[in-house]
Amino acid sequence: MDLATARNFLIALLIGALVGLEREKRKATEPGPTFGGIRTYTLLALVGATSAWLSRTLDSPWLLAVTLAVVGAAVVASHVLQAREPDSPLGLTSEVAAIAVCLLGAMVVVGDPGLAVALAVVTSALLAFKQPLHSLVRRIDTDDLFAGIKLAIASFIVLPLLPNATVDPWDALNPYTLWLLVIFISALSLLGYVAVRVLGTTYGTAITGLAGGLVSSTATTVSFARTSQTGTDAAQAHALAAGILLSWGVMFARVVVLVLLVNRALLPALAVPCAAMIAATLVLAARHGRLSLPQGTPTSAAAPTAAGEATQVRVSNPFSLTSAIRFGVLFAVVLLGVALAQQHAPGFGVYVVAALAGLVDVDAITLSVARQADTPAALAQAGHAITLAMLSNTLVKCAIVWLQGDGPVRGHIARATALMLGLGVAAMGAAALIGR
């Protein structure tokens, strides 16, 4: 006996059993007749494998084609008979899965067994995760679908049409690279938005702050600040401060991710400032979260707070072509400003541009200086510039809390901001000393 052939037939049988097992379990939980179970799907995989083996051995591909036609006819006949049953739920999932199992069984013999097994696992997962997938689809509205299509258009239609060369006298603006980074930031924000939609924002202020920070730490800060105007007590003020600080921590971590993906060599220059500010936000958020708990309640991640149950961040889909173009223009302005500052006012000029850009957005200046840093001196300068942008952005969000918030939360955030500013400046000094 050819052991390789026997192994392939065994793999085909296991593929049929894997999918058939899921269908057998489904038959026990769903009303009405269902096409096949573990035996039927195992036999279908065996039929596909056998017909493929005979087709290859006899050098007659028509045998496999006829077998697939017969299986398809049997599947269609079964579907027609089931459709005639009263109150029978109509669907083609089991029937299509049967044809897929037959093809996968044939693929094991004439193709790649490893790929066939992987596809069988995917097929079984699609069948088993019916309810979660349907639930996920119900959460996606029309605007979300359009946003995904627009992102695909921007990525696969617009991007290839752009010239991959600089078009300005300062050799700073490359339309292809510019739009690619715009797509990257838009996709990152869209993934954060999807996380918010999947996780929800009703599981407490901490999760809301973390998930909202993935989309926009500024939007999260505004939402929590406005919530504080409704007359929160001391515990709720601590909960809101914890949520705001967690969203800021996500922003600092997001900067680290951008640097890792764009210019990994820049990470040592940012390690100390980002680590210090991330640690500060986490420690302060944990402290405020603990103080938000009722007296006598054990500190537990599962313990909800009144503010956590009531507070929700209203987030909308962050991607649109208009917002992408707006960010692209901002990114181009920052990129050009950094290039001009490096030519005419190296050092101080770049820091001024970074501080001003950070008032609006941290991503643009992070990507701009990260792309252009290619020497040890430039890397150190880029690290200081990004740190300044993060500090100026933190100051803006602190001002938002003071202008749109009310009550103790303003003092909590002001003290946290002062601490982070001190840590950021100290970290910049430490990084400069280490660089020397």
Tens of pLDDT along 16-33? 888 888 777 777 676 666
Instruction: Give the model's pLDDT for residue 232.
Output: 63
- In which domain, by residue range, is 373 found? 142-435
Q: Please count the other Cβ atoms lying within 10 Å of the Cβ belonging to residue 216.
A: 22
What is the percentage of the chain residues whose pLDDT exceeds 90? 11
Domain end, chosen from 136, 170, 201, is at: 136
Task: State the pTM of this model.
Answer: 0.59
190 and 72 part of one domain: no
114 and 150 part of one domain: no
Average pLDDT of the segment spanning 80-94: 67
Average pLDDT of the segment spanning 370-390: 87
Decide if pLDDT at 367 tops 80. yes
Number of folded domains in the chain? 2
114 and 214 part of one domain: no
Domain end, chosen from 82, 117, 136, is at: 136
Task: Kindly report, residue by residue over 337-348, the tens digit of the pLDDT.
Answer: 777 776 777 767
73 and 190 part of one domain: no
265 and 378 part of one domain: yes
Position with higher pLDDT, 181 vs 56: 56
Dihedral pair phi/psi, residue 50, rounded to 5°: -65, -45
Task: Kindly report, residue by residue over 137-157, the tens digit of the pLDDT.
Answer: 777 777 777 777 888 888 888
Task: Kindly report, residue by residue over 41-85, the tens digit of the pLDDT.
Answer: 888 888 888 888 888 888 888 888 888 888 888 888 877 777 676
Under the banding of pLDDT at 50, 70 and 90, the label for residue 309 is very low
147 and 121 part of one domain: no
205 and 130 part of one domain: no
Under the banding of pLDDT at 50, 70 and 90, the label for residue 34 is low
Average pLDDT of the segment spanning 300-306: 39
Average pLDDT of the segment spanning 414-424: 92
Nearest to 279 by CA among 420, 390, 382, 383: 420
Domain end, chosen from 111, 136, 161, is at: 136
Least confident of 154-168, 279-293, 343-357: 343-357
Least confident of 36-50, 262-276, 413-427: 36-50
247 and 396 part of one domain: yes
Instruction: Give the model's pLDDT for residue 395.
Output: 92
Instruction: Give the model's pLDDT for residue 202.
Output: 45
Task: Report the half-sphere exposure of 152 (CA within 13 A, side-chain side).
Answer: 6
17 and 164 part of one domain: no
129 and 147 part of one domain: no
Instruction: Give the model's pLDDT for residue 300.
Output: 40
Instruction: Give the model's pLDDT for residue 390.
Output: 93
370 and 397 part of one domain: yes
330 and 182 part of one domain: yes
Instruction: Give the model's pLDDT for residue 21.
Output: 83
